[in-house]
Amino acid sequence: MTLQAHMLEQQAHYPEATGTFSWIISALSISTKIIADKVRRARLENVLGNMGAENVQGEQQQKLDVIANDVLLRTLGGRDGVAIVASEENEEPVILRDDASGERRYCVLFDPLDGSSNLDVCGGVGTIFSILRHDRRAARAGDSLLQPGLQQVAAGYVLYGPSTVLVMTIGQGVDMFVLDPSIGAYMRVERGLRIPAAARSYSVNEGNRRSFPEGYQRYLDWAQEQGYSSRYVGAMVADLHRILLKGGVFMYPPTAKSPKGKLRLMYEANPMAFIIEQAGGKALVAPGRRVMEVQPEDIHQRTPIVIGSPEEVDHVVARLGAA
């Protein structure tokens, strides 16, 4: 079944549906097909490397970051139903329409190219997206974005690897699609994905270990004593896609350099938490506190995260809470 047919199938369950939401998913699908082609041809078209400029996060922008960002902004900007788009690469959201008509009902947030520093070595990269309902009661249009992750309508990611894989949830489980380049369509290959409850594997940048809080260091000592394997790609999409399918835990703790964490709550943590929770996993910002319960104060807010198989997240939390 194609992604388009899948969306029509889902739409049939909602008699009041107008097709607006499906039209937005279509825009995301088209955007990621274009980005997938750009990623495959990056070396041939000489669009690898950085731009010589920093984004709003203070990070070096890669050439393909800018290209992917532009593709998503242009494609989503032309879709009815999209009120606001916000990108990790832009300081301010793009307000497409700020009125009370209710015609444009959704906000789309995205990380256009997660892990883009991997491109130079042909490593895995991805696109992450989150969809919220536009809150027309907000004092300012941009404030409509400041909703906790529990309010997400849909979230997903695309992994550009040996194949182009789309994983998505609309709050009713997690489905996986693979792009068939022969027909130019995403084909559904899995329904109702469930993350393994446990797996002896963790993913974290151990290069920062000396500046991790003590609880994370206790966990790493314990995991290594238990014979756990370390798997770290350097792109959240690639790391969590493996964990979704094979099990394990992904961590990005606070560090001396990033005391509030490094990952972006709105563009990375919330959408990935929605997917993993819908697949039966857990996503926490601290012991007892779900990522998706955090009330955002800024669209570029950062956060620590522990996310993955439920039993493996529990093992981390047990060490974080130890005396």
Residue 229: its H or E element:
strand 229-230
- Check pLDDT > 90 for residue 313: yes
Residues 206 and 179 in one domain: no
CA-to-CA distance for 85 and 106, rounded, in angstroms?
9
pLDDT, the chain, mean: 91
Range(s) of the domain holding residue 32: 3-190
SS3 state at 177:
strand
CATH of the domain at 256: 3.40.190.80
Final residue belonging to a domain, choices 190, 218, 253: 190
CA-to-CA distance for 316 and 215, rounded, in angstroms?
8
Residues 160 and 254 in one domain: no
Of the chain, the percentage scoring pLDDT greater than 90 comes to: 74
- Please report whether residue 287 resides in a domain: yes
- Check pLDDT > 80 for residue 161: yes
Lowest mean pLDDT among 13-22, 110-119, 219-228, 289-298: 13-22
Final residue belonging to a domain, choices 144, 170, 190: 190
Q: Model confidence over 162-220: pLDDT tens digits?
A: 999 999 999 999 999 999 999 999 999 999 999 999 999 999 999 999 999 999 999 99
pLDDT in the model for residue 323:
40
Residues 182 and 273 in one domain: no
- 291 or 287, higher pLDDT: 291
CB 265 within 8 A of CB 86: no
User: In angstroms, how far apart are the furthest CA atoms of the chain?
Assistant: 60
Q: Model confidence over 110-141: pLDDT tens digits?
A: 999 998 888 888 888 999 999 999 887 776 76
Total count of domains within the chain: 2
Lowest mean pLDDT among 42-51, 199-208, 272-281: 42-51
pTM of the entire structure? 0.94
pLDDT in the model for residue 4:
94
Residues 271 and 128 in one domain: no
Lowest mean pLDDT among 140-144, 172-176, 286-290: 140-144
Of the chain, the percentage scoring pLDDT greater than 70 comes to: 93
